[in-house]
Amino acid sequence: MSGAFVESTFTKKDVVFELPLRPQSFRDFTGQDGVKERLMVMCGAARKRNEALGHCLLSGPPGLGKTTLATLLSKEMGTNLVTTSGPAIEKPGDLAGVLTSLQEGDILFVDEIHRVPKSVEEYLYSAMEDFSLDIMIDSGPAARSVQVKLNRFTLAAATTRQGLLTAPLRSRFQLSLRLDYYNPEALVPIILRSARILNTDLNEEGAREIAARARGTPRIANNLLKWVRDYSLMRTAGKLPKETVRDALDMLEIDFLGLDEMDRKILTLLIEDFEGGPVGLNTISVAVGEDSGTIEDVFEPYLIMQGLIKRTPKGRVATLKAYQHLESIQRQMQK
């Protein structure tokens, strides 16, 4: 069998998560209330009918909980979770190996599904609709099609680029859900919960300081918390007042809006080198030495959400808020 997938350890025996910071039930999952409620309704209805869940698509920026929600679906339904990713499924044989291994009611989680090759994607259509797989055997005059029946399964797919999915694939998902960035207030309980799990003495003030600089993303918030914990262990014997949290984050050069060095480099480029824009994405990419796809997927969404840049038909433009923010950072550096 192809090595295109790795079966998860999350089974009916309700074993613990690989990553202890991840919520272990929908009750523990903070934020994304609309998404969570719809998934709970779908799970409850499927259990009452004693059926497999309908296929669902989770989209949104990285680090917001798409993988965690897929894992919670398997726990809620008491089924196995099998995980793979779009780039790992290189040919139809890889997909066949994954699908034929699934048991009744299993959940197949495909991360970055927009990167599944088009030649493979077509095999998903019949698998998702009819739970069957048409496999071609041999070639030339001896070629023949064999239909393989599959157990009823649920495809839970995640993507950071929903626009790259084809219409036929997108229409086969019963439920399409988008996860949005968290506001700082919603991140505070997540950070405090993680601090308890990590046995870190972090108060609410410190959690708010981390939340303000976490770019609205729980994964980043948890990474910053781990850094703050390490910093306090080395500099303040494990004590974590707000000032220590701030000093730790300042060392990472993350400012009070959550912007890092690359974010500020992009803004500085727009304002100082191109008089505020408009500037094309490829020009920005070359000037800052970063891949254009990374700028568009990782840096731009947060800068736009903060109202620091805007997209126009002619290119990216810095806003008045961007000018004010850079001036504020420069004043702080001069103190």
CATH at 241: 1.10.8.60
**Catalytic annotation on 154?**
no
Parallel, antiparallel, or unpaired: how do β-strands 154-159 and 56-59 relate?
parallel
The annotation places the binding site for Mg(2+) at 67
Name the catalytic one among 83, 160, 200, 217.
160
**Catalytic annotation on 160?**
yes
Co-location of 55 and 135 in the same domain: yes
Co-location of 97 and 172 in the same domain: yes
Final residue of a structural domain among 155, 178, 201 = 178
**Catalytic annotation on 111?**
yes
Co-location of 151 and 191 in the same domain: no
Co-location of 213 and 293 in the same domain: no
CB 24 within 8 A of CB 75: yes
Give the pLDDT confidence score for residue 109 in this predicted structure.
92
**Catalytic annotation on 66?**
yes
- What is the spatial distance between Cα 146 and Cα 77, in angstroms, rounded to a whole number? 32
Residue 305 in any domain: the answer is yes
The annotation places the binding site for DNA at 311, 316
Give the pLDDT confidence score for residue 335 in this predicted structure.
60
Give the pLDDT confidence score for residue 19 in this predicted structure.
53
**Catalytic annotation on 263?**
no
The annotation places the binding site for ATP at 21-22, 63, 66-68, 129-131, 172, 182, 219
Backbone angle region of 282, left / alpha / beta, with phi > 0 → left and psi within -120 to 50 → alpha? alpha
Co-location of 271 and 294 in the same domain: yes
Name the catalytic one among 30, 71, 79, 111.
111
| Residue 297: how many other CB atoms lie within 10 Å | 14
Q: How many domains does the chain have?
A: 3
The SS3 call for residue 115 is: helix
Q: Tell me: the pLDDT tens digits for 234-254?
A: 887 767 778 888 888 888 888
Q: Tell me: the pLDDT tens digits for 138-147?
A: 555 666 667 7
Kindly state the tokens that stand for 333.
């550096």
What's the alpha-carbon Rg for the chain, to the nearest Å? 23
Kindly state the tokens that stand for 260.
């890092």
Q: What's the whole-model pTM score?
A: 0.78
Residue 60 in any domain: the answer is yes
The annotation places the binding site at 21-22, 63, 66-68, 129-131, 172, 182, 219, 311, 316
At position 156, the amino acid (one-letter code) is: A
Residue 158 in any domain: the answer is yes
Name the catalytic one among 161, 219, 242, 321.
219
Final residue of a structural domain among 146, 178, 210 = 178
How far CA 268 is from CA of 23, 176, 212, 265, 308, in Å, comes to 39, 38, 22, 5, 11
Give the pLDDT confidence score for residue 191 in this predicted structure.
92
Name the catalytic one among 30, 67, 71, 154.
67
Residue 37 in any domain: the answer is yes
Find the domain containing 286 and state its range.
261-334
